[in-house]
Amino acid sequence: MNAGADLNGSGLDPLSVLLTILPLHSGFRSPKSEMEHKPTQTKESSERAAHLANLLMLSYEPMLAWSLDGPIEFWNAGAERLYGYPANEAVGRISHALLQSKFPIELPELISQLRNEGYWSGELRHVCKDGREVIVDSRMQLLGDGSVLEVNRDVTDVKVLTARQAGLVRDLSAAAAKFEAVFNQSGIFAGIMDLKGYLREVNNLAVDWCGYTRKEVLDRPFWATPWWRGSEDVKAKIRLATDQALSGSVFHEELRYWLADGSQRIVDFSIHPILNEAGTVMFLHPTGIDITDRKRFEVALRDSEQRLGSLASIVESSDDAIVSKNLDGVITSWNRGAERVFGYSAEEVIGQPITIVIPHDRQDEERLILTRIRRGERIDHFETVRQTKHGSLITVSLSVGPVKNTEGKIVGASKIARDITEQKRNQEQIAILAREAEHRSKNLLANVQATVALSQSDTVDGLKDAIAGRVRALSNVHSLFVESRWIGAELSTIATQELAPYRGRVRVEGPQVLLRPNDAQMVAIILHELATNAAKYGALSAPNGQVHLTWLHHADGQLVLTWAEVGGPPVRTPSRQGFGSRIISQLIDQQQGQTHFDWRPEGLVCKITLQA
């Protein structure tokens, strides 16, 4: 027994400890029991127990024994290695105080469990001699003599690694979630292909927008997916693209593809090889951007550029002098017609003030013209006198309009000067008629251009119908101008003509009013917009709906036009101004008139006031 006391330095015999532990864990019976039956084996058993006690003492695993009611009784080399206390500093101390133990449960509850069940296991936190905190996986066994054998395993590093691993898992999960969000919410078609060319994943846009399901496109060769079903040539191109990407090269080309409804579109298509750090292709990444609308816009842009080129040719070859200038009156362009009319070449006048062609007694005209241009006004067919390079005076008809930049800011003026000297001398009447025809033609083209520019629709066909209806209204009123030799058009005739498709459902009342051409065109467009809106959403969309159009013409020239609908669907005040009402308001505002929309439950009442 003295040898055992030397081993642990505590007075506790390791042999006794083993004799207590072994029967509990391995079915080992005490030497005393064996001696009663087999006295000859006592020495052999004692030696074996002593050997095991030494192993217990020297074990790498921290082991200590403490009394339920007292201090530490046993402290092995593993405990000294972990906690830093030698046995002579630990034995006799209360273990929970020495190691500042933190228990997952209250200590009395732990002691109770040891008394009742004979063991406890769980995680403890201890503070070492050097102040480090360690986490141990602890197992406690209540021995027969009331002592507790505590075996601890340091899991601090494991816990740290586990926490890091959990953090990495969270980071990877977050990164995966971000990737999935970017992948699925991307504004381009995207997928993932394996090295056999099979499509294994695809984002939402590629299926939802195209009308397919994932079942229809996944886990099959990419060239066999329904996007390419309309052409064997395109399928072959996809196979070629796949082979090219597998070889490590990017494929990029514009291709046709097909939606689920059978419609054909155009995609800017690519397949990218995704490589690892060693440069080996791991998988393929097909992407695409639908460029169908862009292609249409490009065609429209080319057509527009061709038209602009044609216009430039027309300007350059025109017999009229077509000149542009900045707001300071400095010439910035000068066509061949200007060279013929005024005698100056472009090289002579560009950069010079426009006043070089204005006689001295008419210099104020330029100041007035520039003032009106700055206000955004047009000057049409202003007859005046100009001076050529050689000093001769000529009679010209000027049309001047503001030039705006892309931001809508007025930056200069465009002037068309037509030499009408000869016509003035010889055919004054013919010249007057020619100028009037020119003016009206330009006005008509400007109105048509404005009508086209103002027209909007969600579809091409809808846009065509909107433009056609408004141009038809202009065409009808221009027929009336011809009959009156461009004096104007009678309001009741305009109304009857524009509302003819709804005869029997529209009542028209008002005095005879002859409108000027510009006012007549505006009223025709307004009546067209009101009738179109009523036919779509208002009274004329219902079988029994009616419209009452009335007007008053006061002595001061004020015209009050009232459009009243009844019998249509219930009317609610719209949350925003519709396109038709916006056109009407803009037209009336241009004439310094007033527009009032009254959205009554029984039907719309629109009241328009203007000078006519």
| Mean pLDDT (whole number) for 479-508 | 79
Identify whether the C-beta of residue 95 lies closer than 8 Å to the C-beta of residue 150: yes
Q: What is the CATH number of domain 450-611?
A: 3.30.565.10
CA 396 to chain centre: 55
Q: What is the CATH number of domain 320-426?
A: 3.30.450.20
pLDDT at residue 10, as a whole number: 40
CA distances from 244 to 188, 224, 249 (A): 21, 17, 6
* Domain 186-290 grouped into CATH 3.30.450.20: yes
pLDDT at residue 31, as a whole number: 39
| Mean pLDDT (whole number) for 41-49 | 59
Q: How many CB atoms lie within 10 A of CB 139?
A: 16
pLDDT at residue 269, as a whole number: 94
pLDDT class of 135 with cuts at 50, 70, 90: very high
pLDDT at residue 53, as a whole number: 63
pLDDT at residue 414, as a whole number: 87
The amino acid occupying position 177 is: A
Question: What span, in angstroms and rounded, lies between the C-alpha atoms of 182 and 175?
Answer: 10
pLDDT at residue 28, as a whole number: 33
Identify whether the C-beta of residue 104 lies closer than 8 Å to the C-beta of residue 116: no
| Mean pLDDT (whole number) for 95-105 | 93
pLDDT at residue 454, as a whole number: 53
Identify whether the C-beta of residue 257 lies closer than 8 Å to the C-beta of residue 234: yes
Which residues in the chain are classed under CATH 3.30.450.20?
2-154, 186-290, 320-426
- Among 42-51, 332-341, 570-579, the minimum mean pLDDT is found in 42-51
pLDDT at residue 29, as a whole number: 35
pLDDT class of 253 with cuts at 50, 70, 90: very high
pLDDT class of 490 with cuts at 50, 70, 90: confident
Q: Name the 3-class secondary structure at 507.
A: strand
Asked whether the predicted pLDDT for residue 443 surpasses 60, the reply is: no
pLDDT class of 3 with cuts at 50, 70, 90: very low
Which residues in the chain are classed under CATH 3.30.565.10?
450-611
pLDDT at residue 13, as a whole number: 42
Q: What would the pLDDT profile of 376-396 be if each residue is shown by its tens digit? A: 999 888 899 999 999 999 999
CATH of 2-154 given 3.40.50.720, 2.60.40.10, 3.30.450.20, 3.40.1160.10: 3.30.450.20
Most confident of 159-168, 258-267, 521-530: 258-267
Q: Closest by alpha carbon to 290, among 204, 188, 186, 199?
A: 188
Identify whether the C-beta of residue 384 lies closer than 8 Å to the C-beta of residue 374: no
Q: What would the pLDDT profile of 60-74 be if each residue is shown by its tens digit? A: 789 999 998 789 999
pLDDT class of 88 with cuts at 50, 70, 90: very high
| Mean pLDDT (whole number) for 104-116 | 92
* Average pLDDT value over all residues in the chain: 82
pLDDT at residue 429, as a whole number: 56
What six digits make up the tokens of 569?
């669907």
604 or 485: whose pLDDT is higher? 604
What six digits make up the tokens of 171?
């980071």
CA distances from 478 to 191, 481, 587 (A): 58, 5, 18
Q: Please classify residue 291 by burial: count the beta carbons closer than 10 Å to its beta carbon, then call 0-12 exposed, 13-18 middle and 19+ buried.
A: middle
| Mean pLDDT (whole number) for 236-244 | 94
Instruction: Express as a percent the part of the chain with pLDDT over 70.
Output: 79
pLDDT at residue 34, as a whole number: 42
- Among 28-42, 43-57, 270-284, 497-511, the minimum mean pLDDT is found in 28-42
pLDDT at residue 448, as a whole number: 54
- Among 4-13, 239-248, 527-536, 599-608, the minimum mean pLDDT is found in 4-13
Question: What span, in angstroms and rounded, lies between the C-alpha atoms of 442 and 447?
Answer: 8
Asked whether the predicted pLDDT for residue 597 surpasses 50, the reply is: yes
Asked whether the predicted pLDDT for residue 151 surpasses 90, the reply is: yes
Question: What span, in angstroms and rounded, lies between the C-alpha atoms of 284 and 294?
Answer: 27
